Chain A
Amino acid sequence: MNLMLNILLNVIIAFLIGTILIGLQRKIMARIQGRPGPPIIQHLLHTLKFFIKESAFPKTAAMPFYVAITAMLFVIWVAAVIDGPVTEGSLLLIFAIYTIQKIGEHNAGSSSGSPYGKMSCVRAVYSAAAEVPLFAVLIIIYLKAGTMNISSIINYQSIHGPLLFTIPLAAIMFFVLILSKSQYSPFAITKGKDIVSGYETEHFGLLRGYLMISESIAWYMLLWVFLTVFIGPLSLPAYLIGMVVLSTIVAFINAVTPILNPNHSVMMQVSLAFIGIAGSIVLLMI
């Protein structure tokens, strides 16, 4: 297949599946909490709605950065799709993209000039200090498989079995990272409702639409990375089933846990990352 067509196809799939999974997650959370909940496609309809709404720009916004940051967040997640499902390239690149995404969250908040956005911007720096070490558990994969190339990791697992069973602590830590990025998560301090919508508060219309598309693609990509590097070669329906299962587990956790205080959230994530990395290294040495 033509590369550009393949990229386009995968980006649309990532967006649609990501947005449906976020909708599913909200629905499950609502049912657990005894609420009817929104339809599963509510997040998709919500995203599309913003593209036909008026785009207003706050007077306090730092132009053109305020606009550019939304495009940047969108582009980096498209780059993640290209590096991931399309080319099965380097895991390091996805790690870099994730780190840039944290900077994007930070800058989206600060560029708006809103106090809620700025508060979210500070929390993005806090949470980066915790989430980046969590993502770093992927280094354990290098120690085990001897490669950071996604296609080589898939090949390794097709020979030696899923890494989920050989380095379970690393998988759990990566799951905590996925949990951190989910909506209404105990670790979702950058978008806590105490600061309205965090860094998204002052982005309206088209800009908000782009932020929501990025959010959906990011969710798909994190689940894709987890399934690919810890479970191994999967067919497309198996990916879908795996993503639904992970989203359901996350929904159960989020439905019964309140958002943590930012300091507690970061300390818990850092502690888990430390346990994950140190524990995995010990397990590898035994």
Chain B
Amino acid sequence: MNDATYLIYIISFVLGSIVGLVLSYRKYTAPYVTKNIDIIALIVSIIGWMLVINSHLITFIPIYLSITIGIFLVALVLGMRPGYGRYETVIGFILAAVVWIGTVLV
């Protein structure tokens, strides 16, 4: 991984966070809700974390591309307005980590 790829990942994170912030303010009107889990956000988070952590399993696109898309999706949920996206992020990360551990052990 060189500096340019690294920069692309960071920009992907920043753009994902900005888009997530804007969309979440449009979608959720209540100011601070910590209990609910949004299914769409959860799916986006799981796909994102899978792409970031398990990019080696996806062979039909280059690894740097899958990580870039994954980081964008992760940031989309992580960057949502305060009170939203936390559980979704944690669940997505745990699932992706479990798959990664499974692939390492197998």
Contact = CB atoms under 8 A, between A and B. Distances in A.
Contacts of A38: 82
A56 interface: no
Interface stretch (A6-14, A122-130, A172-180): A6-14
Interface residues of B, number: 19
B69 interface: no
Contact of B79 (A10, A12, A41, A236): A41
A13 B3 contact: yes
A236 B10 contact: no
Nearest to A235: B1
A36 B79 contact: no
A58 interface: no
A207 to B, nearest CB: 23
A45 B82 CA distance: 15
A20 B13 contact: yes
A interface SS class? helix
B3 A41 contact: no
B3 A17 contact: no
Contacts of A64: none
Nearest to B85: A39
Nearest to B6: A236
Nearest to A86: B3
A16 interface: yes
A10 B3 CA distance: 7
Interface in B1-52: 1, 3-4, 6-7, 10-11, 13-14, 17-18, 21, 32
Contact of A39 (B3, B6, B10, B81): B81
Contacts of B7: 9, 12-13, 16
Interface residues of A, number: 20
Nearest to A19: B14
Nearest to B86: A31
B3 A40 contact: no
A222 interface: no
A237 to B, nearest CB: 7
B3 to A, nearest CB: 5
Nearest to B83: A36
Nearest to B81: A39
Interface in B54-106: 78-83
A205 interface: no
A44 interface: yes
Contact of B82 (A12, A39, A235, A237): A39
A37 interface: yes
Contacts of A235: 1
Contacts of B6: 13, 236
B78 A40 contact: yes
A31 to B, nearest CB: 10
Interface of B: 1, 3-4, 6-7, 10-11, 13-14, 17-18, 21, 32, 78-83
Interface of A: 1, 6, 9-10, 12-13, 16-17, 20, 36-41, 44-45, 235-237
5 contacts: A9-B4, A13-B7, A13-B10, A16-B11, A40-B78
**5 residue pairs, one from A and one from B, having the closest CB atoms:** A36-B82, A41-B17, A16-B10, A9-B3, A236-B6
